[in-house]
Amino acid sequence: MNSVGEACTELKREYDQCFNRWFAESFLKGERAADPCGQLFRRYQLCVQKAIKEKDIPIEGLEFMGPSKGKAEGSS
């Protein structure tokens, strides 16, 4: 699947490959060390944010889960 921004598609593929490799070769084998793909993810995230801004895609009112988000309301 391509990214929201054409310029971001290659970054998305690189991140997906990195994450899938880490998940299969480390995480599923019990190695819970930091995700080595974090820097790639941040580069991809910045690219997507830029594309959203350039395309004037309205995102107001959408909620995104991220590291600073707590549990969703009503969940336990």
Reference 3, options 45, 56, 57; nearest CA is 45
3-state secondary structure of 22: helix
8 burial type by CB count under 10 A (0-12 exposed, 13-18 middle, 19+ buried): buried
How much is the average pLDDT of 24-38? Answer: 87
For the ranges 27-31, 38-42, 63-67, 70-74, the lowest mean pLDDT is seen at 70-74
- Does the pLDDT of residue 46 top 80, yes or no? yes
In this prediction, residue 9 has a pLDDT band, given cuts at 50, 70 and 90, of: very high
pTM exceeds 0.75, yes or no? no
Residue 31 CB neighbours (<10 A): 9
Distance CA 23, CA 20 (A): 5
State residue 39's pLDDT score.
Answer: 94
Q: In whole numbers, what is the pLDDT of the chain averaged over residues?
A: 80
